[in-house]
Amino acid sequence: MLLDLIKVFLPAVLSFAIGIGITPLVSHYLYSHRMWKKKAGKGDETPLFNKLHEVRESGTPRMGGVIIWISAILATFGVSFLAGMFNTPVISKLDFLSRDQTWIPLLALLIGAGIGLIDDLFEVRGSGDYKAGGLSLFKRLLVVGAVGLLAGLWFHFKLDIVAIGFPFLGTLTLGWLIIPLFAIVTLAVYSGGIIDGIDGLAGGIFAVIFGAYGAIAFFQSQINLAAFCAAVLGGILAFLWFNIPPARFYMSETGSMALTLCLSIVAFTTDSLGEGEGVSVLLIIAFPLFITSASVIMQKIWKKFFGKKLLIISPLHHHFEALGWPSYKVTMRYWVISIIFAILGLILTLVS
């Protein structure tokens, strides 16, 4: 048990240290190359958003999410390298890079990071107009959906996954329908990435979510997966250190896409594969992500059918800003809500 705890906590500390160490280099590069949107806001059709964010968005670099995934990757491969170099029974057991638990979420993290980085580069190097810069939403959704489908195919045909678990209710057998479910869940989680809009908001929420799933994996005896979640958590905390107000940089697409794709895979890995309910409790543990997506959808539906806005501005966290809440108050209260829902999700998985 003690060695397992060390195996989980060590990657978190190592990833955090790496993130703190590389940030000055990354920050210098982002500022020296002016890696920010040349025009604040989202265009003339969103004057309220532009008013709220005209100061923050212009002059603050994007792509800060590279801190997260670089730290997690270096920590993962670093521990594996040290375990191979010092081939003793104790040190070898610290290696958490395994085909059955960590390769797929690691690959998802890398794919999301790469596609998101391309999108960020297009956006900051584009004309400065939000619609012109970056990959279109349709293209990003295609990538995310494709990753979800490929993961679903792998889990179904290679790992024989045909069901998902529900707390207290047992398992629901879906057969081949598990494949499209993968894509749907992945797209739903990715849509919550729009929560990256206030200093420190997304970082704190993702830290709580990955911490919760690391705990779930640990109690399922999926120690390698728990250690990987801890490595991601360490990277997020290093990013968050520099993202609290005033943010030195933003997570942007390379961070949010990497984390949401990885989170979707982690959720399925902690489900029937780990004899748990990782997917069904995702709605609870990642509640801030889903309520953010839902607020955008409801805003559009309300305007279409009732001819007026449901919220002053969407997503929901900007609505609270428009009401007059300081951005730090929105962030801190979201953190509190995130922790509460993560605890609730943990309770459901542990007692069922």
Tens of pLDDT, residue by residue over 287-296, are 999 999 999 9
As for how many domains the chain has, the answer is 1
Count of C-beta atoms within a 10 Å radius of residue 51: 13
What's the whole-number mean pLDDT along residues 165-186? 94
Residue 46, pLDDT score: 54
pTM over 0.85: yes
Q: Which residues, 6 or more positions from 250, have their beta carbon under 8 angstroms from its beta carbon?
A: 60, 61, 62, 63, 64, 196, 243
Omega of the bond prior to 246 within 30 degrees of 0, cis?
A: yes
What tokens appear for 73 in the block? 């990757």
Q: What is the pLDDT of residue 286?
A: 97
pLDDT higher than threshold 90 for residue 123: no
Instruction: List, for residues 286-335, the tens digit of each pLDDT value.
Output: 999 999 999 999 999 999 888 889 899 989 999 999 999 999 999 999 99
- The DSSP letter of residue 272 is G
Give the pLDDT of residue 44: 44
Domain extent, residue 169, equals 2-351
128-154 core/surface letters (b: 16 or more CB in 10 A; e: else):
eebeebbbeeeebeebbbebbebbbeb
Query: How many residues appear in the chain?
Result: 352
Identify the band that residue 42 occupies on the pLDDT scale cut at 50, 70 and 90. low
Reduce the secondary structure of 150-219 to three states and give it as a string: HHHHHHHHHCCCCEEEECCCEEEECHHHHHHHHHHHHHHHHHHHHHCCCCCHHHHHHHHHHHHHHHHHHH
Mean pLDDT of the chain: 90
Question: Looking at the predicted structure, is the pLDDT value of residue 129 above 50?
Answer: no
- In the predicted structure, residue 279 carries a pLDDT above the cut 90: yes
Q: Give the residue with greater pLDDT, 212 vs 39.
A: 212
Q: What does the pLDDT look like over 46-101, one tens digit per residue? A: 555 555 555 566 678 999 999 999 999 999 999 999 888 887 888 888 999 998 89
> What mean pLDDT comes out for the span 252-276?
95
Percent of the chain with pLDDT over 90: 74
**Rounded to the nearest 5°, which phi and psi values hold at 173?**
-80, 125
